[in-house]
Structure 1
Amino acid sequence: DASDHDATVKQILGYFAQKYIEDPAFAQRVDASVERILIRKYGLYGDFAAAHVTPNAGALDAVGASDQVAFQVASQAVSLLSPERQELDSVLPEPPASGDFLVFLTDSSSAAQCRACPEQPALATDAFQQAILRLYGPTAGGQVIASHLNSYSFTDLSNLLAGIGPEGMDVSLRRANWVVISLTDASSDQPKLVRQLLAERQDLLRATKIILFSFGAPYYFDSTDVSKLSAYFALYSKSPEFVNVAARVLYRELPLEGHPPVSIPGIGYDLIAVTAPDPGQVISLFLDLPADSASTAVPSQTPEPTVMPLFNMGDAVTVRTGAILDHNGNLVPDGTVARFTISLGGEGGGVFQQQDAVTTSGVASISLRIDKPGLAEIRAASEPATISDVIQLSVSEGAAAVVTVIVPAQSETAAPATSTPVPVEENDFVTLSGAPRFSGWMLILFMLAGGFLLAYWVGLGLGKSRWGMRWGLCALLGGLLAYNYLALGLPGAANALKAGGGGTLVGLTVLGELFGALCAWLWMRERAK
């Protein structure tokens, strides 16, 4: 409650104050943090007058009114967590059709923004449904039918799982083509409720596309939970424009540009690994021109040749990288270490020097002095990106250095030739190893029964009923012998079945029956003599 909260805050502040007095290292870090904050504030406001930093109360009316800005932020933030982007078109080839039924399960838990503020639902139960109707309903293109949409809160879902759900909710879920789940946080163990639905009530979700939108933290589900979802998106905010963006994402109207800003173990997304430099890039290197080499002439219409920087022995040279990108194609975080390697030739050959620098806005730089004649080669690496341009400085006594920039060719490692596997069509009656399946055995039973009846009828027409039975039994034995030869895998049987499949199985069995009938005919002729 409020008293416990106040006591806890006072206890924490007292602990920090005591730590600041007793621990010089901690005090130094606090001082550095405060200094950094004050420098930034001074850069924003110019002085520390309270009137300059206190916002005008009338400006509060503009808060939240810029829908266009919120929409742009939401469009750039939305992230596809599962499946992979290249797999999304196969998992969800089309958006919801006009005749599809959609059910929205919304985490509408309430929260208060301050102690004196009334509790408000984080997301209205029908917020997603209303966004769909506003963007795609009867008055906006008619892509959805209003009566095909149903919205339920997580309270309704909890009651359903407890067996006391709202009337008609189970019917809505059974007929739904799409189930859209909106999650806002985990304060009331909402992720557990979603897991319970996915694990215990699959009977309600058969042939249904299940889409989860996380409007809060996206890391509450493990890989097993994620595998049960058709798609999983994260938007990180519950404001109305983010709901509108989620609706547009559902209908495949927006590109998915965002990347998660936190690690998500359930999909194997490690933020530290993803924001590390991409090893597939070639880091560009540049020499910063000396101040006196920059042209101050008025630009002319005639193209001028590129001015090459001139350096002499003893000059300081500044080398900087180009923009270093991470695995998502964004600039690496500030503070990423880049290592510059300088190898020297000529007099004092074999001297090897390394300098480390950290990035700012994706770029790192060092300054070095040319104090030895010969050939200097400068490279850069930022693990795991180890390939860069090479700057060569050929330095001679009394002459300007010759600068050469070598751009390494992207090595294309030839992938070993792999033979494309020829797809083998599976047969309904024969396995790939050449053995009859159960369905093959059932088919043969019908063939044997038919052969028996046919042979019985032929034998009955040629003699007495006794001969009809003999003809039928001979045909049956002949068919069984042929089938057993194939089923037992005797020489040549497997190859014949693999080559001919069910047709070979039926054909050889029929031949066996004909052979049995021939034996019965010979037997009948022998007895008639």
Structure 2
Amino acid sequence: MVAALLFALQPLAALAQTESPLAVTAVDEGAVRAQMAALLDTRVAQLMADMDVADKVGQLFVINFAGADTGFESDIAPLIHGYRIGGVVISPRYGNFDNGNRTDTPGLVAGLTNRLQALAYGKLLDPDEAIPPADEVDSLVDNLPDLADVSQEAGRAPVDIPLFVGVEQIGDSIDNTYLRRKFTTLPTQMALGATWNPDLAYQVGAIVGRELHNVGVNLLLGPNLDMLTLPRPDSVGKLGVDMYGGNPYWVSEMGEAYINGVHVGGRGQVLTVARHFPGQGDVDRLPSDEVATIQTNLDELRATALAPFQRVTTPTGDGQMPIGATDALMPSNMRYSAIQGTGPQRLPPLSLSPDLNTFLQQEGFADWRSDGLLMINALGLPAMRRHFTTESGEFPVHVVASNALLVGNDLIYLGRLSDDGVWDDERVIIEKTITFFQERYAADPDFADAVDQALARILRAKLEMFTPPDQLRRDAIEILAGNNPTGAVLTTALSVDELLTLPQVAATAPLIDLGAALVTAEQQAIFDPASPEAVNAAATVRQVARAAITALHPDISAPAETLPTAPVEGEKILIFTDSRLQRECSTCIAQVAVSPDDLSDIILRLYGPEATGQITPDQIATRSFSELTELLDGQPDPAATATETPADSTPAATTTPTSPGVTPEPETLPGGAAEDTVNAPTEEISGSILDQEIAEADWIIFNMLDVDPVRYPSSDAVKRFLRERGAELEGKQVIVLALSAPYFLDATEISNLSAYLGVYAKSQPFLENAVRVLFRSYPPTGAPPVSVAGTRFADLSERLQADPLRTLPIDIFAGETRLSANAAGSGPPAVVDAGSSIRVQVGPIADRNNHMVPDGTIVEFQVIYEGAELALNVQPAETRSGFAVREIPLARPGSVRIVATSGEATSQPPRLVTVVDGADGEATPTAAAPITPTVALTTATALTTASTSPDAAASADPNVRETPRPVNPATLFVAIFTLLITLSMLLIVQVRILPRTMLVHNLLWAVIIGLGAYIIFGVGLLPGGSWLYDQLDVWSAALVTFLGMIAPILWLQLRALRD
């Protein structure tokens, strides 16, 4: 909802052409914003005045419903028209639409959302006319039949308020990505986290916002802002792929950028619901199954899990919410000992605890909460059902829902309410719950007040969302500019009561026209694969896939470690795939998560006979995890003879049966043998054949998802194979592609692999990039956003510290002038007056993953007066955007050494500053030349040449570093060793050619010039010496000495020839 208001807050000059009594520039900008807010409050008050109890209560509820029928005899029509529900969540699980092959899912969804919006206005929209052209919307709306007339049922006309229409669209998984067919294939949140690039998160968010907006969806249940600090290699660990990572700064960066993108792509008409406040990433059991307790103290909670939620709810300096602020929060269904305390009593989840609102107020969410929404998760989740079911077996939904309202939730999600998946039972529960609210509203003033407060926030969000971007601003300017009772230009906004006296505000016309909530035919064009939007979206996802892919093992940063060379013609490749089956609804045909042939098809397309010719089809064999599991179990695979077709080539079954059913979770086929779909030959594959394929294979590649043996009995096939048959792998290239979270293998298992790649998603763009990395087309550049045991990424916090292999860049400023503060022995020191201050700036600072260190990284300063060895007490500084800055007063004359450190990284050698007494003459700071970067740093935004002022320092390059002094005992040893070797070579070559006197003469000149070259190199006077040392380290001394010795020999030889 913040986004719509911000879109309206355009520069005043942009509205100079609008009609208003006075010039726009005559009105104060702060007054305009205040007047816009007052106008919204006024319109909320107008709507509430026209609403009866049913209207008010209904707006609080968001429901699921079965099927896609919206006719007057449908189940959803009376819930919207009669019970006045305020929102729906649509999904294939309830048969609202499907993602089957050759299905126009965008068209189905757009038509459905338009028909649902028409119901909210008491109209019936024919499915054949559900998506009108833009120029026919007004006439269509004017001629729609009234639902009351068609149904011949008398009733009060509804207040014209559009519905919230919500979906889950997290990415990659069938569980939480509802819109797939013809929609952009989205990366997982962990894949975005592995890019360490908020700009890519923004672009993906914009894709999601644009596509949702163009099918009429205006409520995104996401993103997840949970933080995973303790990855779990069990079934709970699968949740990690739906998180951005394990560092609060980076999760905040990615989450804010994604929400920003959703708002921009959705044109301010797609609201986000950030989940699961205040963070449940480190749960020890599945949150959907059980209400667990998170044992984290309050300080730790504030420093870690809470930080991303604070980022997306914090106003800017002028009190406005940024466009990256979330519109709603979904409280967690976990218990938090730090918030709720502990005791013998059975505590409710935080989402239903009175402590929720108190915690929001105490932790600085009050400004956001004045307009921000709270939406409780589906009340029918197994965890909630298990927690609140009474001893008699009753699940009192109406009581739980009323408690949800009273503790502060605004939107109450009545979803998954039937324990046996029967929609008719759910519908009855929904109707009873809403009726209970209506009765309690009339009988309980406190309850009515809670309803009214939640209603006001909901209506404000809908008004902001559907008001044309510039209309609210134009109205506010006209009122302030003289169209008010005083007739004067106002610098203070009119109040709600004053606004209601104005004729233009008190108008009775609908505040939100139905046409504003409808999707047009033109908006469907973006789903054409050839459209610019679809082409750009696909390119963005490919960019994410390439930036994310990670070499977890071996450690390719080590000189001796590399990925295996690419497969070549003649080498046998055996591919095993976790091709588990899933259903998105109870009547849908099972869909394969990853087809066994997906990877082989990509290999042949990119490197096969019709491409580079490296691989032929007969080199590749493909098998499923279930076949491997049957082999390990020592029994034939009964599923190997069954052929099932992948979902992409299988039409989906109808999802609207006569008696609609509800699938609480996407189903899998019962039994371990039937869990995989295999493109198998018609004859039975015996264990001996698979044994032979394993024995003959030069390459064995595993496409691995999460490990969950309870739901997917073959998901642990890789772990079993490495444990039971690891001895057979000698001489083979064994590769694991982690298509989900990368932490399901332990250190021993990883050590048996030739390569372990973090891919983070199983869609085609990610599989293709994994193949390109295997064939060495380009190197993997990503890094996991979580800790991965058994790899160089085992400790995320260590990876995000300053890289000790890089010298910390350090600049010193006097005022705005950058000083030539040279390292000791490399030039004259900077000179400043005693009593003045210098500003020491360190950065950009790169972490061990070659990205900016997180904000808040500590940088310490050592400032010491030489001779007196007097150390100044300088407080550490925290980084911001990769830089740390500290002002240091220098009160006494002397020579000052300055060194900055961050963890194990240092700015050594010391920078020197000479402080002179002002009485001896005024010191003139010497401006240093601009720093020119030589190496690029992988960061979220491009880093350019370093600025000469600290205010512009964020554009500097982190690889610009002072070269350490190039002489030390090691270089001296290398120089003497080189001198002796060179002397021996010269003696061997020339002893039989030259007279002894001339030989000694030549060798002495070689020694003199060689040692002289080394001395010149050591004191820093050799041109290019610093660069040479940076490239060759101590061996640069060998090169300098050798060339110094050879030069006089050549000169003497040439002179002898001339003579």
- The TM-score normalised by the length of structure 1 is 0.61
Residue 556 (structure 2) pairs with residue 31 (structure 1): no
SS at match of 1:125: coil
Q: CA 1:380 to 1:49, structure 2 compared with 1: closer, same or farther past 3 Å?
A: farther
Stretches of structure 1 that go unaligned for 5 or more consecutive residues are: 39-47, 295-307, 419-529
Task: Point out the structure with max Rg over C-alpha.
Answer: 1
Q: Deviations over 1:462-487 (max 9, x none)?
A: xxxxxxxxxxxxxxxxxxxxxxxxxx
Q: Percent identity?
A: 27
CA distance in 2, matches of 1:197, 1:32: 54
SS at match of 1:333: coil
Residue 780 (structure 2) pairs with residue 256 (structure 1): yes
SS at match of 2:716: helix
Residue 805 (structure 2) pairs with residue 284 (structure 1): no
Report the more deviating stretch, 402-411 or 223-232.
Answer: 402-411
Q: Any conservation in 2 of the 1:78–1:259 contact (CA below 8 Å)?
A: yes
Q: Any conservation in 1 of the 2:554–2:756 contact (CA below 8 Å)?
A: yes
Cα deviation, residue 118, structure 1: 7.4
CA distance in 2, matches of 1:70, 1:316: 49
CA distance in 2, matches of 1:315, 1:116: 78
Q: Any conservation in 2 of the 1:285–1:391 contact (CA below 8 Å)?
A: no
* Matched residue, 1:329: 850
CA distance in 2, matches of 1:411, 1:113: 68
Q: CA 1:344 to 1:309, structure 2 compared with 1: closer, same or farther past 3 Å?
A: closer
Q: Any conservation in 2 of the 1:340–1:380 contact (CA below 8 Å)?
A: yes
* Matched residue, 1:467: none
Superposition map of 1:191-210 within 5 A: 192-202=716-726, 205=729, 207-210=731-734
* Matched residue, 2:707: 186
CA distance in 1, matches of 2:368, 2:518: 22
Q: CA 1:317 to 1:260, structure 2 compared with 1: closer, same or farther past 3 Å?
A: same
Cα deviation, residue 336, structure 1: 0.8
CA distance in 1, matches of 2:855, 2:541: 26
Partner residue of 2:789 out of 265, 284, 304: 265
Q: CA 1:190 to 1:12, structure 2 compared with 1: closer, same or farther past 3 Å?
A: same
Letter of the 1:101 counterpart: K
Report the more deviating stretch, 233-242 or 274-283.
Answer: 274-283
Superposition map of 1:151-162 within 5 A: 151-162=622-633
CA distance in 2, matches of 1:211, 1:113: 31
CA distance in 2, matches of 1:141, 1:7: 52
Superposition map of 1:220-259 within 5 A: 220-259=744-783
Q: Deviations over 1:79-113 (max 9, x none)?
A: 22222324455x73x42222222111011224567
SS at match of 1:174: helix
Residue 580 (structure 2) pairs with residue 109 (structure 1): yes
* Matched residue, 2:878: 358
Q: Deviations over 1:100-129 (max 9, x none)?
A: 221110112245679999764332221101
Partner residue of 2:611 out of 133, 140, 153: 140
CA distance in 1, matches of 2:590, 2:916: 73
Letter of the 1:328 counterpart: N
Q: CA 1:280 to 1:88, structure 2 compared with 1: closer, same or farther past 3 Å?
A: closer
CA distance in 1, matches of 2:366, 2:525: 33
CA distance in 2, matches of 1:322, 1:414: 29
Report the more deviating stretch, 97-106 or 383-392.
Answer: 383-392
Letter of the 1:365 counterpart: V
* Matched residue, 2:465: 50
SS at match of 1:378: strand
Partner residue of 1:19 out of 355, 366, 372: 355
Q: CA 1:139 to 1:132, structure 2 compared with 1: closer, same or farther past 3 Å?
A: same
SS at match of 2:595: coil
Q: Any conservation in 1 of the 2:704–2:739 contact (CA below 8 Å)?
A: yes
Partner residue of 2:918 out of 373, 397, 421: 397
Letter of the 1:31 counterpart: F
* Matched residue, 2:208: none
Letter of the 1:409 counterpart: R
Q: Any conservation in 2 of the 1:214–1:236 contact (CA below 8 Å)?
A: yes
Letter of the 1:239 counterpart: S
Q: Deviations over 1:320-347 (max 9, x none)?
A: 113222233332222110012333589x
CA distance in 2, matches of 1:116, 1:381: 62
Q: Any conservation in 1 of the 2:830–2:912 contact (CA below 8 Å)?
A: no
Q: Any conservation in 2 of the 1:123–1:184 contact (CA below 8 Å)?
A: no
* Matched residue, 1:523: none
Residue 877 (structure 2) pairs with residue 338 (structure 1): no
Partner residue of 2:544 out of 42, 53, 73: 73
Partner residue of 2:839 out of 283, 295, 318: 318
Q: Any conservation in 1 of the 2:832–2:915 contact (CA below 8 Å)?
A: no
* Matched residue, 2:636: 164
Structure holding more strand per residue: 1
Residue 970 (structure 2) pairs with residue 414 (structure 1): yes
Letter of the 2:602 counterpart: A
CA distance in 2, matches of 1:412, 1:240: 54
Cα deviation, residue 253, structure 1: 1.7
Letter of the 2:706 counterpart: D
Cα deviation, residue 197, structure 1: 1.4
Q: CA 1:177 to 1:60, structure 2 compared with 1: closer, same or farther past 3 Å?
A: same
SS at match of 2:736: strand
Q: Any conservation in 2 of the 1:394–1:403 contact (CA below 8 Å)?
A: no
CA distance in 1, matches of 2:889, 2:587: 64
Q: Any conservation in 2 of the 1:104–1:150 contact (CA below 8 Å)?
A: yes
Stretches of structure 2 that go unaligned for 5 or more consecutive residues are: 1-92, 95-286, 292-330, 336-348, 373-462, 470-516, 528-532, 641-684, 819-828, 929-961, 975-1059
SS at match of 2:846: coil
Cα deviation, residue 415, structure 1: 9.4
Aligned length: 388
SS at match of 2:354: helix
Q: Deviations over 1:165-196 (max 9, x none)?
A: 34043333232221111112223366632121
Letter of the 2:848 counterpart: H
Q: Any conservation in 1 of the 2:706–2:744 contact (CA below 8 Å)?
A: no
Q: CA 1:146 to 1:11, structure 2 compared with 1: closer, same or farther past 3 Å?
A: closer
SS at match of 1:328: coil
Q: Any conservation in 2 of the 1:379–1:391 contact (CA below 8 Å)?
A: no
- The TM-score normalised by the length of structure 2 is 0.33
Cα deviation, residue 362, structure 1: 2.0
Cα deviation, residue 317, structure 1: 3.5
CA distance in 1, matches of 2:694, 2:367: 53
Cα deviation, residue 130, structure 1: 0.7
CA distance in 2, matches of 1:380, 1:191: 49
Q: CA 1:394 to 1:119, structure 2 compared with 1: closer, same or farther past 3 Å?
A: farther
Q: CA 1:326 to 1:413, structure 2 compared with 1: closer, same or farther past 3 Å?
A: farther
SS at match of 1:71: helix
CA distance in 1, matches of 2:917, 2:619: 82
Q: CA 1:371 to 1:184, structure 2 compared with 1: closer, same or farther past 3 Å?
A: same
Report the more deviating stretch, 321-330 or 187-196.
Answer: 187-196
Residue 907 (structure 2) pairs with residue 387 (structure 1): yes
CA distance in 2, matches of 1:132, 1:410: 49
Q: CA 1:171 to 1:330, structure 2 compared with 1: closer, same or farther past 3 Å?
A: same
CA distance in 1, matches of 2:586, 2:924: 70
Cα deviation, residue 225, structure 1: 1.0
Q: CA 1:80 to 1:5, structure 2 compared with 1: closer, same or farther past 3 Å?
A: closer
